[in-house]
Amino acid sequence: MTALDVVGLARSLIDIDSTTGHEGPVSRWLANWLRRQGYNVAEQPVEDDRVNLYVTLDQPLVVMSTHLDCVPPHFPSREEDGKLYGRGACDAKGIAAAQIGALEQLRASGERRVGLLFVVGEEKGSHGAHAANQVAPGSHYLINGEPTDNRLGAATRGVYRLRLLAHGRAAHSSHPEQGISAIEKLLDALIQLRDLALPCSPILGDTSYTVSLIDGGIAPNVVPPQASAEVNFRIVGPTEEVKTALAPLTTLVELEDVTEVPPVEMATLPGFETAVFPFTTDIPFLSAWGEPLLFGPGSVLLAHTADEHVRVDELRAAVGHYSQIAATLLTRC
């Protein structure tokens, strides 16, 4: 069997715009390509023409998974100075190509108990993962692909996003004493947030946060009656611990939950470098697919950037790494 051109496959995937919500074309292209290679491909509808792909030979005990959607803006592939550039080069179309390359290697050796799961919507809402978890096949292990510099992830932080709502009273700006500025209340809460003691983990480190959105006021000459901010916490333990720490803010603002994703600890294997990562993955939403591992070529520091790329040698090496991880896990089934 001719070895798969993993870079060529990655470039074909990258060149198809699959910004979250518009994954239909890349899913169709990849499903047809995989069928031509002799794989069984089941398409699971998620929304409109968006589908997850479940790829098998026989009943899989180990499944490699990643996502087909990307953040905007799309830009096409190019290869330069030993690096593959393009949206999705490391997050996560290069990873998808490497996993397919690993499956090809395993099939060539006679191993048919490994499958693939490619989901949509990871970058916004994890809708594909939620849908896939309803049809899990009974696999023992899930190797989730995200850019980890070809290291096994020992743990990932979770996410807690909430909205701070400040309420005031409108008044003419020439008589501010007649009103209550919601913006000033919000600013006071955000300043107080800086000094709060947030949870810490010996594995994942300190809880961090970003004030990512602020909105407020209705007109330049009106004391603002409302204001809001969204804050994104990267959590290292139960969400309730963060909520308890934020309780002092409730004298100034109302706290409204937006999103919660728990931190995760994952299996590791001898012979692989390990690390902990501050980002989240689809793993919490694929709990029915088996014990999770996290691995992939590329750096998360390059993901979502205008310079997104992966080293070609790292991408090619990931094929063998994925194959080795899967083969090792099969000995434990």
Catalytic residues: 122
Q: Where are the alpha helices (DSSP H) in the chain?
A: 6-14, 24-36, 93-108, 127-132, 182-194, 239-245, 312-330
User: What's the rounded Cα separation, in Å, for the pair 315 and 79?
Assistant: 12
Sign of CA dihedral 301, 209, 240, 163: negative
Contact criterion met (CB below 8 Å) for 63 and 117: yes
Q: For 248, which DSSP code? A: G
Which residues 6+ apart lie within 8 Å of 29 measured at CB? 12, 13, 16
Task: Work out the number of other CB atoms within 10 angstroms of the CB of residue 17.
Answer: 17
Q: Which of 4, 182, 255 minimizes the C-alpha distance to 105?
A: 4
Contact criterion met (CB below 8 Å) for 130 and 45: no
Q: Which of 164, 234, 237, 176 minimizes the C-alpha distance to 203?
A: 237
User: What's the rounded Cα separation, in Å, for the pair 148 and 278?
Assistant: 11
For residue 52, the Cα-to-chain-centroid distance in whole angstroms is 16
Largest CA distance in the chain: 81
Residue 251's φ and ψ, nearest 5 degrees, are -75, -15
User: What's the rounded Cα separation, in Å, for the pair 196 and 179?
Assistant: 29
Residues 98, 23, 107, CA angle at the centre, nearest 5°? Answer: 30
In this structure, what token pair is assigned to residue 97?
């190509």
